[in-house]
A and B are shown apart, each in its own frame.
Chain A
């Protein structure tokens, strides 16, 4: 796309702000409007379940862009404003404050929100963790000594939060429906080690059991499980995944079955892009599209979008990468862990608490998982990137 003079970005979190930043850094001189439904913006989410929840960082420390870099952005940020509709043909975004913002390019970066449990829930004591507001609310609850917290969902967010809550002195139980949590994500060796670490630190992980209901009227008092167990609870965190914020795009003509479907360059329609958690991006050379809810994906797609808007055609397939921190242990994954992959321990140094596992499918290395081994993961990630090109 050439001669773009105006860009409207819907979403002011990681992908949205990074798009504005990337445009600016590449010398874009047109106008940029950022519509963010959150009043408080420019905060980053990964620290919410860790440093912010733990109280180690003041919320201001978890910035997305350094304040100076944000101040330099020649973007109009409409904070606390929600987009209500998109006219794809006209590339016009309607907002709930009664405006229509038209752009030569529109970037959809509306992210996701937590999935909730079906059915009735008690009015108080049931938390989710997505926004800074959510993190501060849960942090306040965790200030109560000996709080009994039940975390529903043994994924990365649930377990990270469980670790932080446990370190703050809460009695924490995690309920996960899958019988072998995280095995499909990290492989059996690291998944088992991670669950063992949680057990060692006093987090009670109940795997292979579902939630029947949240007990309590005004306030949650317990979680009833499908195996008949009842777990007394002063607070509950629901961390069972998320759903894309695409309702405002109903009727736009875009494909929104699972996020916003876009091509490998993040193009959803001419002049309309999707980036970050909400983007369901076609994979180069493969007949499928995937939505990736990892922090680095948001930055990477934001840059791809900015480059496409500016007419730069740099085609690259980055090696997927993410990290997750539990009880001060850093787990990182570069590449992928496909079903049926063969695991190989390539480094195991118990004295230093390091472990690196590589995955291969049909003899070809697809990914590596590191346990407190970031330097090695970077090295192996470089090899994966080199092999992919």
Chain B
């Protein structure tokens, strides 16, 4: 999977970091930073958790082929 985020709409809530710190981090302003754009499949559940927990719904996991 490939992680796509819309940083401009990020509200800096940190939900993604709490759900999946292996993939998501925050910069000094709290805005999401993707630290692993192509996380391994075993992180799928944690990534899904981050996608759903994000209050701005700005995270997507797309197929690598896409």
Is A84 positioned at the interface, with any CB of B under 8 Å from its CB? no
Select which of A65, A295, A385 is within 8 A of B18 by beta carbon.
A385
Task: List chain B residues, Cβ under 8 A from A63.
Answer: 57
A46 vs B10: C-alpha distance when bound (angstroms): 12
By a CB distance below 8 angstroms, the chain B residues around A65 are: 57
* Docked complex: B9-66 residues within 8 A CB-CB of A: 9, 11-15, 17-18, 26-30, 48, 52-53, 55-58, 60
Contact A299 B53 (CB under 8 A): yes
Q: With A378-B18, A381-B18 as given contacts, are A295 and B55 in contact (CB-CB < 8 Å)? A: yes
A180 touches B (CB below 8 Å): no
Nearest chain-A residue to B49 (Cβ)?
Answer: A303
The 23 sampled A-B contact pairs (Cβ below 8 Å) are A21-B52, A25-B48, A46-B55, A63-B57, A66-B57, A295-B55, A299-B52, A299-B55, A321-B13, A323-B11, A330-B30, A374-B12, A374-B14, A374-B29, A375-B14, A375-B27, A375-B28, A378-B14, A378-B18, A378-B26, A381-B18, A382-B18, A385-B18
Size bracket, chain B contacts: 20 to 34
Number of A-B contacts (CB under 8 A): 58
User: Chain A: interface secondary structure?
Assistant: helix
**Footprint of A on B, CB under 8 Å?**
9, 11-15, 17-18, 26-30, 48, 52-53, 55-58, 60
Residues of B within 8 A of A190 (CB): none
Query: Which among A22, A300, A330, A378 has the greatest number of chain B C-beta atoms within 10 A?
Result: A378
Provide the residues of chain A in CB contact with B27, threshold 8 Å: 375
